[in-house]
Amino acid sequence: MNKNVLMLFALFVGLVSFAQQERQLKLNEDTNLIEVTYFHDNGVVSQTGFYTTDGKLQGEWLSFDSDGKKSVSANYDNGEKVGKWFYWTNKTLREVDYTDNAIVSVIEWKKDDETSLAFRN
């Protein structure tokens, strides 16, 4: 009896987890990449990006907050972090540069007013 309860609990947790990660998948036949879009609980897009057919992150990935504002722009090459990544908040923009899946440099700008960003160490 306890084994059946445990199995039902595991099934329930799996279903709840899947429901929280609503997504759309589509194979792009030109690039042979899987296009994916994840959604917040309120229906707003939370992430967009691509997977290789063997499940590795590929190309540009974008993340959005629950209001639809872009919060992260990331780049992958065959599952490894590459190039410039950008992280936005209300007050800062952080640029993180990756080479060979490792951080090479970080630059952060602080918003001084409504229209400008100033360099901050």
β-bridge mates for residue 83, sequence order: 98
The band of 113, judged by pLDDT with boundaries at 50, 70 and 90, is low
What is 23-120's CATH topology? 2.20.110
The band of 58, judged by pLDDT with boundaries at 50, 70 and 90, is very high
Q: What is the domain partition of the chain in residue ranges?
A: 23-120
Q: What pLDDT, in 10s, does the model give residues 87-98?
A: 999 889 999 999
Statement: the pTM of the whole predicted model exceeds 0.85: no
Q: What pLDDT, in 10s, does the model give residues 22-42?
A: 999 999 899 999 999 999 999
Print burial letters for 26-54: b (CB count within 10 Å at least 16), e (below 16).
Answer: eeeeeeebbebebbbeeeeebbebbbbee
Angle 104-110-112 from CA coordinates, rounded to 5°: 160
Alpha carbon of residue 2 to chain centroid = 38
